[in-house]
Structure 1
Amino acid sequence: MKPLLLTPPSWTWATLGEIADVVGGVTKDAKKQSDPALPLVPYLRVANVQRGHLNVTSVAQIRVPQATAERLRLQHGDVLLNEGGDRDKLGRGWVWENQIPNCIHQNHVFRARILEGILHPKLLAWFANECAQSWFETNGTQTTNLASISLSKIKQLPVPVPPLAEQAQLVSALERHFSWLDIADGAIDSGARKLKLLIKKILIEAVPIPSPQHWRTATVNEVGAVDLGRQRHPNWHEGPNMRPYLRVANVFEDRIDISDLMEMDFPPEIFERFRLSEGDILLNEGQSPEYLGRPAMYRGIPEEVAFTNSLLRFRAGPEVDPEWALLVFRRHMHAGRFMQETRITTNIAHLSASRFKGVEFPIPPLEEQRQIVARVTNTLIELGRLSTQINQAQAQSAVLRRALLSDAFAGDLVPQDPSEESVKVLLERICADRKASDARSPRHAARTSRTTTDARVKPIELMPSGSYTGTQETLFKQEELQQ
């Protein structure tokens, strides 16, 4: 086992599997959900397990056998760590504090129950959230845009274990520092929410509905041309006429992100049909409901680019300034107007071209369009500066948190006392007890009757922090829960 960072000599390193009972959660069985005889219990999913906190405002329920509910029931002090999702979600988690009675966890969330108080749960969670992130990225696997880490692998996570007295000082010091940062973060987050609401209010009020009497109200189809992008096909991602194209992942509100462009084979006549011209407005055809119809204007970058059928294109007619059209569509998105025209399939909202064409489109005189756009643009530029400052403050807070944790696990946050007793003896006893318990289990007896190699287990060699020279063999292996 290789330590992940340099710690004081009095600290001990161990694997997560040595200091905690680590198990996976319940897998949802569709057949059992219709069985009223099974108890209905709350269970935590990846969305509930955030970095540094648990979000229990919306907790799902699941029907499971009583034995499963009892076996997986969370206890105060359990550390919950995400098994899968986006790569940056691996190992993300926090400590369970009995927020909900009789709660269990799903199979994409690991539960680590620390043995005999050898490590404070918050120290484990803080370490996994920040200091061990590079380890999770290295040891996770990636399939079909989802990352995951196995139960056997996460048990091998190297974890630093300070002396018990020092742990209490570390937790107290970190909580004191974090409490001040939490107050600052609360103020920053409140400012961000208020700014977001202010921008929404400005955009909605810029295009009043009902409109002033001297404005004309038409439909989207009457004031411009609407097209759906080209369908994608796996066979078209190689060919003699490769061209870049934009998709939902590239189109944000009033911004096109070209950092992740994909290419497709476009015969010349097909490319001309779907090639973007400067001033075209792209809107998300399919997305989560709050982002449906999210619009951005194509301003000529990148050159010679097309779009796919996850996007709608609006090309303004002569009586509409494209910038005014963009403002109208931003107004509709924030006012929830597009949601009135959607259909939802598998949690994805869709805005069809035919229904989009029928959405109302207010038209002031051209000169008034430009005046309103200029006024709103100037206001949003000023608010954008404020938004940048808020983002910088949030980033600085995150940097401070990481610095505090780095100092804590380097032994620089609280004074070191050479006389403090290492946890090495306690860890040795825990490992010996688990080895003895495993030897007494029927499952172990069955294994040893088939082969004698399992009995030849390497003893744990506990060494001071920083003295490991190789990979330590994990002693104990637990089966993943079979549901």
Structure 2
Amino acid sequence: MSAELQQTEIGEFPAAWSIGRVDSAFDIQQGKQVSKKNRDGEHQRPFLRTKNVFWNRLELTDLDEMHFSEAEQTRLELQANDLLVCEGGSIGRTALWNNEVDGCLYQNHLHRLRAKDGKAHPQFGVYWLWYAFDVAKLYFGRGNVTTIPNLSQSKLAELPMALPPLPEQKKIAHILSTVQRAIEAQERIIQTTTELKKTLMHKLFTEGLRNEPQKQTEIGPVPESWEVVKLGNHIQIAHGYAFKGEYFVSVGPTVLTPGNFKLDGGLYWGKRTKYTTESYEPNVVLNPGELVVVMTDLTPTAKLLGGPAFIPEGRTILHNQRIGKVALKSAKTTLQFLYWIFLSEPFKRYMRQTATGSTVRHTSPSKIYQYAFGMPSLDEQAQAIDCLAKVDAKLANAEDKKRALQDLFRTLLHELMTAKTRVHEFEITA
């Protein structure tokens, strides 16, 4: 081993870094227990729960309140640069407090860490715990495991952590925070573009693009040139084949299920994607470009019911009974336009209102056929599709950038916390 490196219980680190317990760098305090008795009292104050704490982020839109005595307020009131660490649930999940809410306190399922003796930079502490708990799993098995996993104050106190010299901690925190801010910027773009898309869809499907005078119809006002039609006049929907679960395997042709559909349209291939070795007829193979919709939603909310997707190229995809295949029987519209109709809020609301079943929600071709909407000319349909496609492209671009930045962040988190990459390799600017 190089003289400049030291071997420790949590890995190999530069000799200039110290390896200490968490309580060597932070004062630790657990919060107040939430109970009916503790809620009664005149000193009602906002407090944080584990559901408010995410990695390097606090969600403060839904703060609870309970009574805290004056002594408890003195002991538990948060200060800027305090770390909040989850004791239960997602053990170790940590965020930094920056005085976002005046006089805020915290419950007993959170630990408050406050830097002491100038040994730790608070933001570095957040990133170290993120690395140790979530990325490297350094502390796996160190929590108390009963019926509910938890991280007691004594266990947290004794966890080892690497502590570079304070200037190096600050530089590491600066680099990682720069990437985090870039991720947040993309998240804001995604949020803004999503709202734009929602507003644009409403305008396109109620007012159109040509500022026409409107007429009153059974579905409300629509442009004068539009025709109010039912889907059943223009499409037919076919169910697929009931593939048997006993033939599901980890590789093979893909059996399309509701679990492959995104809420905002399209497909993805996650861990729950089904593959089969069962024999099947050629007519159950879905062709690239075909439009499909969800006919059965396995959740009570029915948010996916009626959700659309086009079949992509690149894999064999099989049509099962929980999915409907949409075919045109009219030349007055296109599958591309109907895709956006299926994504519209009025159609989603109609699907929820007409669904059957309690735990598992179902629709049927006959119910979908009864949905009425305003249909513009083919030319105006094409213009609407083009507008929405451009917004979707901007959204996809921001999502791609966000994923790339998230990958970069996790790579840097590992490289910097293990000293595989040192901060002197980066030029730090204010």
TM range (shorter): 0.5 to 0.7
Q: Distance in 2 between matches of 1:317 and 1:385?
A: 26
Task: Say if 1:379 and 1:138 are closer, same or farther in 2 by CA, change over 3 A.
Answer: farther
Task: Choose which of 155, 158, 161 in structure 2 pairs with 1:159.
Answer: 161
Which stretch of the first structure deviates more once superposed, 371-380 or 119-128? 371-380
Distance in 1, matches of 2:350 and 2:84, equals 39
> Secondary structure of 1:329's partner?
helix
For residues 299 and 172 of structure 1, the distance between their equivalents in structure 2, rounded to whole angstroms, comes to: 47
Q: Which amino acid aligns with 2:162?
A: P
Q: Deviations over 1:402-446 (max 9, x none)?
A: 63884477393369xxxxxxxxxxxxxxxxxxxxxxxxxxxxxxx
> Which amino acid in 2 is paired with 1:412?
R
Q: Deviations over 1:334-369 (max 9, x none)?
A: xx66347747xxxx999863886654333456xx1x
Q: Is residue 403 of structure 1 aligned with residue 417 of structure 2?
A: no
* Paired AA for residue 251 in structure 1: F
Residue equivalent to 1:303: 317
**Greater helix proportion:** 1
CA shift at 1:120, angstroms? 3.1
1:255 corresponds to which residue?
A: 266
Residue 78 of structure 2 aligns to a residue whose secondary structure is coil
Is contact 2:337–2:382 with CA below 8 Å preserved after alignment?
Answer: no
Q: Deviations over 1:432-466 (max 9, x none)?
A: xxxxxxxxxxxxxxxxxxxxxxxxxxxxxxxxxxx
Matching residue of 1:323: 336
Structure 2: which amino acid aligns with 1:92? R
Counterpart amino acid of residue 262 in structure 1: K
Match of 1:13 among 8, 19, 27: 19
Deviation at 1:229, TM superposition (A): 9.7
Rounded to whole Å, the distance in 1 between the matches of 2:141 and 2:242 is 33
Matched AA of 2:97: W
Structure richer in strand, relative to its length: 2
CA distance in 2, matches of 1:114, 1:341: 53
Q: 1:180-199, aligned counterparts within 5 Å? A: 188-199=186-197
| 1:105 alignment partner, one of 97, 104, 107 | 107
Q: The residue matched to 1:136 in structure 2 has which SS?
A: coil
Cα shift readout 1:20-51 (whole Å, capped 9, x = no counterpart): 4656666755x559x74586442323442233
- Alpha-carbon contact 1:81-1:91 (below 8 Å) kept: yes
Q: How does 1:194-343 map to 2 (within 5 A)?
A: 194-208=192-206, 210-220=221-231, 224=235, 237-238=245-246, 245-252=255-262, 253-259=264-270, 260-262=272-274, 278-282=290-294, 285=297, 286=299, 294-298=307-311, 302-308=316-322, 313=324, 315-316=326-327, 318-319=329-330, 321-330=334-343, 332-333=344-345, 338-339=348-349, 342=352
Structure 1 residue 160, shift from structure 2 partner:
1.1
| TM-score (norm: length of structure 2) | 0.64
- Of residues 60, 80, 83, the one that matches 1:79 is 83
Structure 1 pair 20–404 and aligned structure 2 pair: CA distance change class (3 A): closer
Shift of 1:191: 3.9
Report the secondary structure of 1:139's partner residue: coil
Residues 117 and 287 of structure 1: is their aligned pair in 2 closer, same or farther, counting only changes over 3 Å? Answer: farther
Contact between 2:416 and 2:423, CA under 8 Å: does it hold in 1? yes
Pair 182,125 (structure 1): closer, same or farther in 2 beyond 3 Å? closer
Unaligned 5+ residue runs, structure 2? Answer: 1-6, 143-147, 208-220, 426-430
Given that 2:19 and 2:162 are in contact with CA atoms closer than 8 Å, whether structure 1 keeps it comes out as: yes
The answer on whether the counterparts of 1:281 and 1:298 sit within 8 Å (CA) in structure 2 is: no
SS in 1 for 2:14: coil
How many aligned positions are there? 379
| SS state at 1:254 partner | coil
Alpha-carbon distance in 1 for matches of 2:84, 2:180: 21
* CA shift for structure 1 position 201: 4.5
Give the AA of the match of 2:95: W
Equivalence for 1:139: 140
Instruction: Answer whether contact 1:295 1:329 (CA < 8 A) is retained.
Output: yes
How far off is 1:291 after superposition?
7.0
Equivalent residue, structure 2, for 1:95: 96
1:475 matched residue in structure 2: none
Query: Over aligned residues, Cα RMSD in angstroms?
Result: 5.2
2:44 maps to 1:43: no
TM-score of the two chains, using structure 1 as the length reference: 0.58
Preserved CA contact (<8 Å) 1:292 1:350: no
2:308 maps to a residue whose letter is P
Equivalent-residue separation in structure 1 for 2:126 and 2:235 (angstroms):
55
